[in-house]
Structure 1
Amino acid sequence: MNPEITPAAATPFSTPWGVFDLTRFPEDPRERLRAWDAADEYLLRHLAGEAGGADGATDLAGRRIVVLGDRWGALTTALAAHEPVQIADSHLGRRATLANLARAGATSDPARLLTTRDTPPERIDVLLVRVPKSLALLEDQLHRLAPAVHPGTVVIGTGMVTEIHTSTLQLFERILGPTRTSLAARKARLIFCTPDPALDPGPSPWPHRYALPPDVGPVSGRTVVNHAGTFCAERLDIGTRFFLGHLPTPAPGARVVDLGCGNGVVGTAAALAGPGAELVFVDESHQAVASAEETFRTNLGPDARAEFLTADALAAEVIAPGSVDLVLNNPPFHSHQATTDATAWRMFTGSRRALKPGGELWVVGNRHLGYHVKLRRLFGNCQLVAGNPKFVVLRAVKR
């Protein structure tokens, strides 16, 4: 069973700093995915000197602690008394952290919850890294944080055994310094890195740019900009490629949302096909929204107008109900290591709320996911626009 899944998602998180009721965001009482796992637990036990070995407890008093990649705020909440700085890419993770801190009775100055696009602290005494799914994001963030690390910095990474590979350790060693790993405990492992001030990792290779193929409609041959951690940052994925061949042409003045925009190639294609349209790019990843903005401006000019929003799907607080003519969506079906359709369902329900009467949601997805069933249930209609053995493009109209 996936280590993030438990029959009771609200199982208390027991740590040396207290017991916490943690939830993901948005909260759902039916949710079976936990907001913490054994990797978070193992790291905190090690810091308190309770995980065995000869290291003893780590002195955290008065030290600048940075937590990188804390998925749902488990580490930040447990260590709240030490005022850690959290650096994370996920808008949903930030919202979960704020909710979990509030539930624990802790307060958090928003300045201590940074995104992966913000300027990091100038000095880091303790760096705790929750290893992300994306090695590229880890590489980019270690490059950004390396100037703040000094020879006395305690650097500890944590992840499930399946998330830590030789390539993970090589990144730490190339950018920060030598590493060693712990024994596995409950399928989790720790990475201990000793900063080497003489190490010169060179410049970060991110963002990455590539030219699109010549047969993908209005964006054929155009340049795409990808910040680290963005979906398919090295090449155009086959689902998006199929979608680009079947996009509708926006009417002049239409308000069009590229929902889950990633690097923004779909919304950029819509803007090029319908130059009078008003584009809105939405993603829960700060890296993705930054990528979308650079892709859009690279291809339509630095003064071209569009909105770029880091948000939870099409939440009412960011997109007014009944204000959108067209939503274009390639929904993800993973949340970290877990497979789930919860994100797609939120995207579909948010789209229906945001669309004007007569507005349309166009979706591309793997054929086996059965999105047509959800769309018919929600919209009362669903049309197959195009399909191949792997993907379908679906159209639902708000009546």
Structure 2
Amino acid sequence: MAASAPIFAPIGAPLYRYPKREQDTLQAWDAGDEYLLQYIQEQQLDISEEVWLLNDSFGALACALDKQTAKLRHIHDSHVSQLGTAYNREQSQSTQADFAFWDCLEPWQGTPSLVLMKLPKSQRLLTWQLMKLSQILPKDATLICAGKVKEIHSSTLALFEKHFGPTHTSLAQKKSRLIFSHNAKTQQQLPAPIRWSVPDYDFEMQNHANVFANTKLDIAAHLMLQHIPKDPSLKTIVDLGCGNGILSLQAARLNPQAQIIAVDESPMAVASAHLNADENLGPAHQVEARVNDCLSGFAPQSVDLVLCNPPFHQQNAITDHIAWQMFCDARHVLANEGKLIVIGNRHLGYHIKLKRLFGQVNTLASNGKFVILQASKRPQAKGN
């Protein structure tokens, strides 16, 4: 049965979260998207030339504005957001505007008549984006940002004031609010990646703005580092959802004969993993970092070991479908007798999902909060 989705009124067509799933109960837009579009229409803002969209998760704004503007630029630190936006634009036939995807680290060039933002989850990413916009946009240019009322605090508005310019908010509507900020052209230099040490493993780490655990080693990674195997038979190891790449570093040190592939959907995470491999392993290291949607594009039975610390949210929505996709992809790419090692919160019940996929699941370690599980791929019986 085909997946169903409610109609997104501004384009008169359904929009889907990515990847598209049957009977998905989560919308691909929110009240903040609707509020932004309503405000543009009511104020008759000029959107005919060039519009920049920051953090437009699944392309709701891009699809709605496509036929009204000549040029659209979609800026996000998410490969999945790009894939979802591309899918929804194609499905809704939103292909009129000159359209381009930019990630946060590449140059942003142009003269937008309007810049719209969805409030990101990370305050560090928000600060980074505000500082970059302040450098590029002309003085007094207006930035309009939408967010949930519960996520807009006085500290949030202080970031706009400090890193962009004078700021005020709209009234609340459907539990969302708009933030209006006017560029004061502060000309602050973009901050370098944050540096921190892991003395137990002699690692010096660097994190770009949107990378998880950005100032110290998180407790799940600390536990996982202790259970990365050293095995001379391993030829290819994948660090799935690599973040800053610290698991890749340890896997590379323990297994110098193996190719290490660090995979994440965040360009900032992948750039951090590149930096950390270069600094900690030297120029001849065997770590390759890739921006990718889980393990799409990997050849079947091409990997010996997958290390995974899966997220349990997509944007601001709590969901387990990303972990399920990671586990399914891992089973597809693992060679027979290959292993998937996963860490997760005990209450998430990953052992149930892994047992359904792999059959054999062992507990490698656990504490009061986390459990590390190992699933082994067995050859399928003929006819299955």
TM-score under structure 2 normalisation?
0.93
Residues 114 and 372 (structure 1 numbering): CA distance in 2 closer, same or farther, change over 3 Å?
Answer: same
For structure 2, the residue ranges without an aligned partner over 5 or more in a row are 379-384
Q: Which amino acid aligns with 2:73?
A: V
Task: Give the whole-Å Cα distance in 2 for the aligned partners of 1:298 and 1:10.
Answer: 46
Match of 2:24 in 1: 31
Match of 1:71 in 2: 57
Residues 277 and 90 (structure 1 numbering): CA distance in 2 closer, same or farther, change over 3 Å?
Answer: same
Task: Give the whole-Å Cα distance in 2 for the aligned partners of 1:30 and 1:67.
Answer: 28
The reply to whether residue 254 of structure 1 matches residue 254 of structure 2 is: no
CA deviation profile, 1:359-395 (whole Å, cap 9, x unmatched): 0000111111111111111001100011111111110
Matches within 5 A, 1:274-289: 274-289=255-270
Match of 2:305 in 1: 326
SS, match of residue 183 in structure 2: coil
Match of 1:223 in 2: 204
Q: Is the 8 A contact 1:65 1:127 kept in 2?
A: yes
Deviation at 1:117, TM superposition (A): 2.1
The reply to whether residue 22 of structure 1 matches residue 1 of structure 2 is: no
SS, match of residue 150 in structure 1: coil
Match of 1:190 in 2: 178
Match of 2:381 in 1: none
CA deviation profile, 1:151-193 (whole Å, cap 9, x unmatched): 3523100011122222221221112110000111000000001
Q: Which amino acid aligns with 1:382?
A: V
Deviation at 1:205, TM superposition (A): 2.5
Match of 2:102 in 1: 114
Task: Give the whole-Å Cα distance in 2 for the aligned partners of 1:106 and 1:234.
Answer: 41
CA deviation profile, 1:4-26 (whole Å, cap 9, x unmatched): xxxx97111112xx323111111
Q: Is the 8 A contact 2:46 2:114 kept in 1?
A: no
Overall identity of the aligned pairs, in %: 41
Comparing 105-114 and 370-379, the one that deviates more: 105-114
CA deviation profile, 1:283-310 (whole Å, cap 9, x unmatched): 1111111111111111111342332211
Q: Which amino acid aligns with 1:106?
A: S
Matches within 5 A, 1:233-252: 233-251=214-232
Task: Give the whole-Å Cα distance in 2 for the aligned partners of 1:111 and 1:355.
Answer: 37
Task: Give the whole-Å Cα distance in 2 for the aligned partners of 1:89 and 1:34.
Answer: 20
Task: Give the whole-Å Cα distance in 2 for the aligned partners of 1:211 and 1:295.
Answer: 11
Match of 2:382 in 1: none
SS, match of residue 307 in structure 2: strand
Task: Give the whole-Å Cα distance in 2 for the aligned partners of 1:321 and 1:94.
Answer: 25
Deviation at 1:338, TM superposition (A): 1.8
Residues 97 and 108 (structure 1 numbering): CA distance in 2 closer, same or farther, change over 3 Å?
Answer: farther
Comparing 249-258 and 364-373, the one that deviates more: 249-258
Match of 1:4 in 2: none
Q: Is the 8 A contact 2:263 2:289 kept in 1?
A: yes
Q: Determine which of 38, 41, 60 is the counterpart of 1:48.
A: 41
The reply to whether residue 11 of structure 1 matches residue 2 of structure 2 is: no
Match of 2:276 in 1: 295
Matches within 5 A, 1:361-376: 361-376=340-355
Task: Give the whole-Å Cα distance in 2 for the aligned partners of 1:183 and 1:9.
Answer: 33
SS, match of residue 139 in structure 2: strand
Matches within 5 A, 1:152-231: 152-197=140-185, 199-200=186-187, 202-214=188-200, 220-231=201-212
CA deviation profile, 1:62-91 (whole Å, cap 9, x unmatched): 2x2111111111111111121310101111
TM-score under structure 1 normalisation?
0.90
CA deviation profile, 1:39-69 (whole Å, cap 9, x unmatched): 11101100111xxxxxx2211122x211111
Residues 114 and 330 (structure 1 numbering): CA distance in 2 closer, same or farther, change over 3 Å?
Answer: same
SS, match of residue 291 in structure 1: helix
How many pairs were matched up?
374
Residues 243 and 303 (structure 1 numbering): CA distance in 2 closer, same or farther, change over 3 Å?
Answer: same
Match of 1:217 in 2: none
Task: Give the whole-Å Cα distance in 2 for the aligned partners of 1:109 and 1:211.
Answer: 46
